[in-house]
Amino acid sequence: MNQFNQIIRDKPASAEDLQLNPRAKGQKIQQWLDRELRRLILQGQIRGGEKLPSTRKLAQLWSIARGTVITVYEQLVAEGYLESRQGSGFYVVTGLTEDIDYVLGENSTRESQPERPDRNEINYKESPFPVQGDFTPKAFSPFQPDCDLFPRVLWGRIMSSLCRQADASIFRFGEAAGYRPLREAISQYLARSRGVKCSAEQVIITSGTQQSLQMISQILLREGDNVIVEDPLYRGARTIFSQAEFTLNPVPVDKDGLTIEKLHKIKTPKLIFTTPTNQCPLGVVLSLERRFQLLDYAQKNQAYIFEDDYDGEFRYTGQPLPALQGLDKNNRVIYAGTFNKTMYASLRLGYLVLPPELFNAALHYRATMDRFPPGLEQAAMSTFLQEGHYNRHLRRMRKVYAGRLKALQEAVASYLPELQIGTRATGLETLAWLPQGSDDRKVCEKLAEQGIRVQALKNFCLQQKLPPALVMGFAAITEKQIRQGIKTIARCL
Ligand SMILES: Cc1ncc(COP(=O)(O)O)c(C=O)c1O
């Protein structure tokens, strides 16, 4: 019980009794009065059953319009703080919890605040992803699709037609593995377009690859377990593995992908994280010979491979390369795909294709984490796939992104020849090698001052020392922005 609740009043509050704090500079009168009265009620300075001063008296004492007092009283009645008794006035309702002052935060007059946990007891690690701020893509924000070009009208039609259906099943609780027709559509799409061999029974819908990886690390790994990762490494994966205190074993990537001969030194690996179709961030492809060697290594060590196929759809010369999973005969590959890059970033839908023996563990972990994925979006995604819109959208985006990559290569050749753009023809970003001796982190900082967003290759490296380079996105901005951006960089460097 707080000190104010112990004050016994036997007469109605008078306007003079009310301990209203002075109005802050610029604060509107109505807002001030409203906040002050709530505070007094919540702190117990005016108790349940007490009468408030009349609107006229309060208005006179504080020299404010009576109408303002009436508005505030009526609002507090509407919200359940006060009740209006016919012909008698306004009273604080009874039964407001005595302990309600904790909601007041910094205004709270509690004598002693509950102790906060010691900072070291809070499990806090910084995320590699921005958690707030302006997310509008800039030249050259990497890892982003162009959400302006997403066919919103078509998507809206699909969504609204689903909403109009008499059957409300997509709005009810759903299966933890996801909406069945979507799981079917994904398994068919993957077989046709990504060379993945699976049935819908192996598919679990997630919110994207980040969640998929989090799920897998939770069900497979224990503290101290050996995880093999590519060096350089996708930073989202690095955070997941280091947050959970697993033992990271970085293996260098060269022009043919993960260097398999280095794996043999690592004993009892549990999981191998790899981006074989478009190494993040180098953009190299794991060669066919190494794919077989990697599968063989995993089988011999009874380790699982997490194949992060985050943007394999975006290949600008020839057909997209088939996934590693399709070559696996021993159920060693856990395949993860995402719609957050192929559709739009905030969709937050992705999928896992699991070896059958892992399915149940992943399913139950998923249900514990956030129960099941959103029904409407899943149903819309399923229609989008089944009616062929997805393939059409991908074809269109491939053309647009290929044009932007070419624009970037041409702009660099014309205005910034000291930058060497890699030959990569996949994904949503590319590497630009800086002149020897440059410090890519410092260059990024300097460019950020001019509104240019690039990432330093060094930030992705664990042990490997690579020449300085910038990771530059080209997909989310127009060709005009690309040319302007390159001219800005040319002025800065
Ligand atoms: C290599 C890589 N894997 C996974 C992801 C995460 O994908 P999602 O947005 O589906 O969680 C990203 C996102 O940028 C990525 O670059």
Condensed to tens digits (0 to 9), the pLDDT of residues 338-396 reads 999 999 999 999 999 999 999 999 999 999 999 999 999 999 999 999 999 999 999 99
pLDDT band at residue 13 under the 50/70/90 scheme: low
319 or 169: which leads in pLDDT: 169
Average pLDDT, the chain: 91
pLDDT band at residue 17 under the 50/70/90 scheme: confident
Average pLDDT score over residue span 287-299: 97
Atom of ligand 1 nearest to the CA of 208: 10
Phi-psi region of 103 (alpha: psi -120 to 50; beta: other; left: phi over 0): alpha
pLDDT band at residue 117 under the 50/70/90 scheme: low
Predicted local confidence at residue 93, as pLDDT: 87
Distance 236 CA to ligand 1 centre (A): 7
pLDDT band at residue 14 under the 50/70/90 scheme: confident
Distance 379 CA to ligand 1 centre (A): 22
Distance CA 131, CA 370 (A): 20
Which residue has the least CA distance to atom 13 on ligand 1?
A: 143
SS3 category, 70: helix
SS3 category, 367: helix
Predicted local confidence at residue 46, as pLDDT: 87
Q: Is the dihedral of CA 177, 179, 181, 185 positive or negative?
A: negative
Predicted local confidence at residue 422, as pLDDT: 80
Residue 158, C-beta contacts closer than 8 angstroms, at least 6 positions apart: 380, 383, 384
Average pLDDT score over residue span 240-250: 88
pLDDT band at residue 44 under the 50/70/90 scheme: confident
Query: What tens digit of pLDDT does each residue of 404-413 get?
Result: 999 999 999 9
Distance 473 CA to ligand 1 centre (A): 14
Distance 389 CA to ligand 1 centre (A): 23
Average pLDDT score over residue span 110-124: 59
Please choose from 127, 143, 239 the residue to mutate so as to test ligand 1's pocket, defined by most ligand atoms within 8 A of CB: 143
Contact assessment for residue 283 and residue 242, using Cβ atoms and an 8 Å cutoff:
no
Average pLDDT score over residue span 76-84: 86
Predicted local confidence at residue 45, as pLDDT: 83
Report the b/e string of 279-297 with b at 16+ CB within 10 A. bbbbbbbbbeebbebbbeb
Contact assessment for residue 18 and residue 51, using Cβ atoms and an 8 Å cutoff:
no
* Phi/psi of residue 128, nearest 5 degrees: -75, -10
- Please name each of the domains of the chain with its CATH number: 3-107 (1.10.10.10), 150-391 (3.40.640.10), 392-492 (3.90.1150.10)
Distance CA 43, CA 228 (A): 56
Which residue has the least CA distance to atom 14 on ligand 1?
A: 143
Residue 106, C-beta contacts closer than 8 angstroms, at least 6 positions apart: none
Predicted local confidence at residue 303, as pLDDT: 98
Query: What tens digit of pLDDT does each residue of 175-189 get?
Result: 999 999 999 999 999
Verify whether ligand 1 is closer than 6 Å to residue 249 (CB atom). Answer: no
Q: Which of 255, 250, 264 is nearest to 294 (CA)?
A: 264
Q: How many CB atoms lie within 10 A of CB 2?
A: 17
Q: How many CB atoms lie within 10 A of CB 94?
A: 10
Angle at 162 between CA 159 and CA 165, to 5 degrees: 155
DSSP state of 388: T
Distance 341 CA to ligand 1 centre (A): 8
Which residue has the least CA distance to atom 5 on ligand 1?
A: 209
Query: What tens digit of pLDDT does each residue of 425-464 get?
Result: 899 999 999 999 999 999 999 999 999 999 999 999 999 9
pLDDT band at residue 115 under the 50/70/90 scheme: low
Q: Report cis status (omega within 30 of 0) of the bond before 384.
A: no
Q: Which of 331, 332, 333, 351 is nearest to 341 (CA)?
A: 351
Distance CA 413, CA 419 (A): 8
pLDDT for 110 beyond 60: no
Verify whether ligand 1 is closer than 6 Å to residue 143 (CB atom). Answer: yes
Predicted local confidence at residue 111, as pLDDT: 47
pLDDT for 25 beyond 90: no
Which residue has the least CA distance to atom 12 on ligand 1?
A: 310
Phi-psi region of 224 (alpha: psi -120 to 50; beta: other; left: phi over 0): left
Which two structure tokens, joined as six digits, stand for 71? 């508005």
Residue carrying structure tokens 């919103």:
152
Predicted local confidence at residue 190, as pLDDT: 98
Least confident of 114-123, 206-215, 226-235, 276-285: 114-123
Predicted local confidence at residue 484, as pLDDT: 98
Which two structure tokens, joined as six digits, stand for 95? 């039964």
Average pLDDT score over residue span 127-152: 94
Predicted local confidence at residue 8, as pLDDT: 38
pLDDT band at residue 3 under the 50/70/90 scheme: very low
Q: Which alpha helices (DSSP H) does 165-307 contain, by range?
A: 180-193, 209-220, 235-243, 288-301
Distance CA 323, CA 316 (A): 16
DSSP state of 422: -
